[in-house]
C-alpha cells in the first residue's frame, strides 16, 4: 500500500494475522499546507482491508495526530492520512475497488460482495457504482447498425382507484433500449418510457457525428420507434424484424381459420373438426412439412369453401415468406432490392386476387406500409436478434438482483451485464483476491 510501511506482524493462537503499519508520507496540515513533524499523540485505526492469501487480516494502522507547525494556522492539530485510507474512512480504497469489480465483472450482487468483503451493503453498492461509472462514462463509439426495442422493468403494478373501484396501472414501467448490433458495446443505453419522444430523447443526447454514423436501425414493426428514428436519424435506413413479419402472417392464417370455422359450424373449433386436426400444421413453414402432412392440409381445406379460404390465406403467408427467404442468411448471397420487391408484388397480387378474404386485405395493407423497412431488412440482413438475446440477459440480471427499487441502479447494472463479455477483467494482485475469486469461480 503506497505511503504505508508495515512495522510488525503477529499470528495469534487462532492463526489470525495482525499487521501493524504506519504512514510514511510527510504529514501536511490541511489548513495551511505546511509539513509538520511535531507529534501530538498516536491513534490506532483499524480499517477493513483485503485478505492476504485468502485469509482475513486485522489491519492496524497507527496514525499520528500532529501539531501544526505554522503559528497563525486555524488548525491547531490534524491527523495524518494516506490516499488508500482517506480521513474518516474505515475501509481501504483497494478493498472497495475489489468489491466493486466483483459486482461489475463477475455479476455477483452487491449483497454477496459485501458479505465477502465484510463491509456494508451500502459500501459495496457505492463501490460498484464507481466501478460501473468508470466503464460506462463517455459517449459510445460510433455504431453502424443500431437496435431499438422495449423492455419491461419488473412486473406491472396495479392499484384500485378508491372512488371508481377500477383497477388502474401505476407508473409506466418500460424502458426503451438501444443496442450496438454488430460491435462489442452491447447495450448502449436505456431511457424510461415507451413513447416516440422517450426514444427520440436518448437519440437527441448523442452527438451529431454519432447520429450520422448510424446506417441501419433494426426495430420491431412498431410505428412509435419508426417515427423516432425518422425524426432523429433521417439518414439511417430502418429494418423491421422479419420474425415479427412472419408472425403477423401466421396470425392472419389463424384469424381466417377461426372465422371460417365459425361460418361453417356456427361455433368455435373443437377437437374432432377436420380443420382442428391441421391447426398446428398450418403454423409450420412449407419446407418443414412432410409430403403426407402437405397432402392432409390440402385434402382437409379442399373439402369445403370455408376450408378453401384458409388454404388461400396459408398460400399468402408462404408467398410473403418467399420474399423474406431471399436474405443472404438463407441463400448465401445478398439479394437485389428489385428481386425482393418483385416477390412482395407477387404476394400483394395474390391478396388482391382473393379480395373476398378481408384478413388478407388487412395483411397486405400492413406489409405495404412497412415495405421499405422489410426490403431493407432482407437486403442488409440486419436483425434485432442480438438485441433480443441481450434483452434476455438484462432480464436475467434484473431477476438475479431480486429487482431494483431504483431505475438508475437497474440501468447501470443491466448495462454493465451486457458489456461484461467484451471487457477485460481488471488486473490485480492474486495474493489479495484469492479468497474472493476462488469462491465465485462458477460465475466466470
Ligand atoms: Zn496548519
pLDDT tens, residue by residue, 53-62: 888 889 999 9
412 CA to centre of ligand 1 in angstroms: 42
Q: Which residue from 58, 44, 6, 55 is spatially nearest to 435, judged by alpha carbons?
A: 55
The set of cell numbers assigned to 208 is 451529431
Query: CB of 216 within 8 A of CB of 239?
Result: yes
37 CA to centre of ligand 1 in angstroms: 12
Q: Is the dihedral of CA 373, 378, 380, 386 positive or negative?
A: positive
Query: CB of 202 within 8 A of CB of 178?
Result: yes
Q: Over the stretch 67-97, which tens digit does the pLDDT of each residue have?
A: 998 878 888 899 998 989 888 888 999 999 8
At residue 349, the pLDDT reads 95
User: How far is 88 from 66, CA to CA, in rounded Å?
Assistant: 16
At residue 124, the pLDDT reads 87
By CB atoms closer than 10 A (0-12, 13-18, 19+), residue 249 is: buried
Weakly modelled stretches of the chain, pLDDT under 70? 135-139, 152-159, 167-173, 386-388, 391-411, 418-444
100 CA to centre of ligand 1 in angstroms: 35
The b/e string for 175-200 (b: 16+ C-beta within 10 A; e otherwise) is: bbbbbbbebebbbbbbbbbbebebbb
**What is the three-class DSSP state of 438?**
helix
65 CA to centre of ligand 1 in angstroms: 12
129 CA to centre of ligand 1 in angstroms: 35
Q: Which residue from 224, 146, 134, 155 is spatially nearest to 186, judged by alpha carbons?
A: 146
- Residue 199: which residues within 8 A CB-CB, separation 6 or more? 148, 176, 191, 224, 225, 228, 229
Q: What is the DSSP string of 10-46?
A: EE-TTS-EEEEEEE-S-EE-TTT--EE-EEEEEEEE-
At residue 435, the pLDDT reads 30
At residue 138, the pLDDT reads 60
Beta-carbon neighbour count of residue 375 at 10 Å? Answer: 22
34 CA to centre of ligand 1 in angstroms: 6
User: How far is 253 from 177, CA to CA, in rounded Å?
Assistant: 32
**What is the three-class DSSP state of 374?**
helix
The length of the chain, given as a count of residues: 444
6 CA to centre of ligand 1 in angstroms: 28
Strand partners, 63: 43
Neighbours of ion ligand 1 (CB under 5 A): 29, 31-32, 68, 70, 73, 75
Rounded alpha-carbon distances, angstroms, from residue 225 to 38, 176, 233, 271: 68, 9, 11, 41
39 CA to centre of ligand 1 in angstroms: 13
Dihedral pair phi/psi, residue 227, rounded to 5°? -70, -40
Angle between helices 93-106 and 121-136 (to 10 degrees): 70
Amino acid at each position: 500500500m503506497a505511503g504505508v510501511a508495515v512495522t510488525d506482524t503477529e499470528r495469534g493462537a487462532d492463526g489470525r494475522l495482525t499487521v501493524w503499519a504506519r504512514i510514511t508520507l510527510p504529514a501536511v496540515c490541511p489548513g495551511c499546507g505546511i509539513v509538520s513533524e511535531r507529534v501530538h499523540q498516536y491513534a490506532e485505526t483499524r480499517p477493513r482491508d483485503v485478505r492476504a492469501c485468502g485469509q482475513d487480516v486485522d489491519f492496524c494502522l497507527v496514525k499520528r495526530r500532529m501539531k501544526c507547525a505554522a503559528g497563525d494556522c486555524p488548525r491547531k492539530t490534524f491527523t495524518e492520512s494516506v490516499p488508500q485510507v482517506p480521513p474518516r474512512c474505515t475501509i481501504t480504497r483497494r478493498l472497495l475497488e475489489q468489491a466493486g469489480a466483483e459486482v461489475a465483472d463477475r455479476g455477483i450482487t452487491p449483497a454477496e460482495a459485501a458479505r465477502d468483503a465484510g463491509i456494508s451493503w451500502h459500501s459495496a453498492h457505492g463501490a460498484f457504482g464507481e466501478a460501473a461509472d468508470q466503464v460506462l462514462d463517455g459517449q459510445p463509439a460510433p455504431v453502424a447498425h443500431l437496435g431499438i426495442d422495449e423492455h419491461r422493468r419488473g412486473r406491472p403494478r396495479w392499484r384500485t382507484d378508491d372512488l371508481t373501484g377500477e383497477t388502474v396501472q401505476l407508473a409506466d414501467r418500460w424502458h426503451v433500449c438501444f443496442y450496438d448490433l454488430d460491435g462489442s458495446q452491447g447495450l448502449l443505453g436505456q431511457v424510461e418510457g415507451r413513447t416516440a419522444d422517450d426514444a427520440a430523447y436518448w437519440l437527441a443526447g448523442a452527438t451529431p457525428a454519432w447520429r450520422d454514423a448510424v446506417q441501419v436501425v433494426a426495430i420491431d414493426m412498431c410505428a412509435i420507434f419508426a417515427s423516432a428514428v425518422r425524426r432523429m436519424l433521417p439518414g439511417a435506413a430502418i429494418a423491421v424484424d422479419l420474425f415479427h413479419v412472419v408472425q403477423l402472417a401466421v396470425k392472419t392464417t389463424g384469424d381466417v381459420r377461426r372465422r371460417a370455422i365459425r361460418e361453417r359450424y356456427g361455433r368455435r373449433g373443437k377437437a374432432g373438426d377436420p380443420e382442428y386436426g391441421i391447426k398446428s400444421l398450418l403454423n409450420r413453414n412449407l419446407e418443414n412439412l412432410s409430403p403426407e402432412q402437405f397432402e392432409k392440409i390440402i385434402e382437409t381445406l379442399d373439402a369445403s369453401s370455408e376450408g378453401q379460404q384458409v388454404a388461400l390465406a396459408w398460400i399468402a403467408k408462404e408467398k410473403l415468406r418467399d420474399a423474406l427467404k431471399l436474405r443472404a442468411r438463407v441463400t448465401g448471397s445478398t439479394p437485389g432490392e428489385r428481386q425482393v420487391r418483385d416477390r412482395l408484388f407477387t404476394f400483394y397480387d395474390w391478396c388482391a386476387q382473393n379480395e373476398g378474404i378481408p384478413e388478407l386485405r388487412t395483411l397486405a395493407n400492413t406489409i405495404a406500409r412497412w415495405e421499405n423497412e422489410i426490403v431493407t431488412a432482407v437486403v442488409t440482413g440486419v436483425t434485432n436478434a442480438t438485441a433480443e438475446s441481450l434483452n434476455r440477459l438484462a432480464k436475467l440480471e434484473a431477476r438475479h438482483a431480486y429487482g431494483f427499487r431504483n431505475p438508475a441502479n437497474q440501468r447501470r447494472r443491466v448495462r454493465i451485464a451486457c458489456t461484461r463479455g467484451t471487457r477485460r477483467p481488471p488486473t490485480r494482485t492474486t495474493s489479495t483476491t484469492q479468497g474472493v475469486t476462488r469462491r465465485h469461480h462458477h460465475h466466470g
